[in-house]
Structure 1
Amino acid sequence: MKTLVLVRHAKSAWGDPTLADHDRPLNERGRRDAPEMARRLRDRGVVPDAVRASTALRARTTAEAMIAELDLPGQSLVLDERLYGAGPDLILGVVGELGEEVGTAMVVAHDPGMSDLAYRLSGEIEHMPTCAVAEFRFAVWSWSEVVEADAVEVHFDTPR
């Protein structure tokens, strides 16, 4: 079994119009929601072996807050610039590169790619609000098989 956890980055701040999109930080709600969503994962027994996140500040900060709450080692996080603005196929491509030793993987990235992928994998989740978590379990041996597999279990949670 492989478990894929998709996380849309937490709520970001729009207060500084001089910042590039890539450099927008989390706002207060985002800084509160990220650890809360990690606690919910942990309480359900879902703890990733590997985390991949967009290099955008809001995605990186979301991932770091969740990793800290889950008490994971810092090296479990790998920033991947391909995840910034990535569509479903590219996100799945990044996931497909994971090693077989990884049983549970978390990807922290952006919309519309995250919502599109969540819908593709579930047929039900149409929109992932900020800091939403969509979890998919697959009866496969390899991450590369996830592209063609149907999820045997889906769990969806939002901060609100």
Structure 2
Amino acid sequence: MKTLALVRHAKSSWDHPGLDDHDRTLNERGLRDAPVMAARLAASGLRPGALLSSTAVRARTTAAVFGEALGIQPDLDERLYGAAPGTLLRVVAERADDAVLVVAHNPGLTALAQHFSGFPAGADAISHMPTCAVAVFTFDVPTWDDVAGAVPASWSFDAPRD
């Protein structure tokens, strides 16, 4: 059994237009939403063996909040910054842990969440991962390499406005 939790970074600030995208910080809403969503995920009972994060400041900050709530240190990986779904899955597949949480960015997270939540055909797929949204997918497969082509055994979705 493998569990993949996807978290889009919390809301970031656009107050400094000259700042490099990678260096944008969280705004007030992001700083407020991240602890709430981290607490909700912790209350669900999920205990990931690994927490992987993009190196972007907004993702690292979000991951630190989730890590504190879940009692785990984030591992930063520059490949997660702007990663496509295939890259996200390849980075996760390098882990031996049965449950992995990934903090990263759109459009890759939404595309991956849409793909996995679209089963069975006609299901209410996740159409958008808003900031600080959490999607959790459980797969009845033995290895991470099997996840890409698998249909989730179950999935859930939570967003700050829910």
TM-score, with structure 2 as normaliser: 0.93
Indicate the SS of the match to 1:26.
coil
8 Å Cα contact 1:47-1:70 kept in structure 2: yes
8 Å Cα contact 1:96-1:145 kept in structure 2: no
Tell me how far apart the structure 2 counterparts of residues 71 and 107 of structure 1 sit (CA, whole Å): 15
Tell me how far apart the structure 2 counterparts of residues 71 and 97 of structure 1 sit (CA, whole Å): 21
1:6-155 superposed matches below 5 A = 6-72=6-72, 74=73, 77-99=74-96, 102-123=97-118, 124-155=125-156
2:53 partner letter: A
Tell me how far apart the structure 2 counterparts of residues 106 and 95 of structure 1 sit (CA, whole Å): 9
Indicate the SS of the match to 2:147.
helix
2:68 partner letter: A
Indicate the SS of the match to 1:61.
helix
Structural RMSD (CA): 0.9
Tell me how far apart the structure 1 counterparts of residues 116 and 7 of structure 2 sit (CA, whole Å): 14
2:45 partner letter: G
Q: How many residues align?
A: 155
Tell me how far apart the structure 2 counterparts of residues 48 and 98 of structure 1 sit (CA, whole Å): 11
Ranges in structure 2 where 5+ consecutive residues have no aligned partner: 119-124
Tell me how far apart the structure 2 counterparts of residues 2 and 118 of structure 1 sit (CA, whole Å): 15
Tell me how far apart the structure 2 counterparts of residues 89 and 11 of structure 1 sit (CA, whole Å): 24
4+ residue stretches of structure 1 with deviation over 2 A?
Answer: none
Could you say which residue in structure 1 is the equivalent of 2:3?
A: 3
Aligned-pair CA distance for 1:71: 2.5
1:97-126 CA deviation, whole Å, 9 max, x = no partner?
A: 111xx1210000000000000001111011
1:19-63 CA deviation, whole Å, 9 max, x = no partner?
A: 100000001111111111111111111121101110000001000
Tell me how far apart the structure 1 counterparts of residues 132 and 87 of structure 2 sit (CA, whole Å): 20
Tell me how far apart the structure 2 counterparts of residues 96 and 43 of structure 1 sit (CA, whole Å): 26
1:138 partner letter: F
Ranges in structure 1 where 5+ consecutive residues have no aligned partner: none
Identity %: 55
8 Å Cα contact 1:95-1:144 kept in structure 2: no
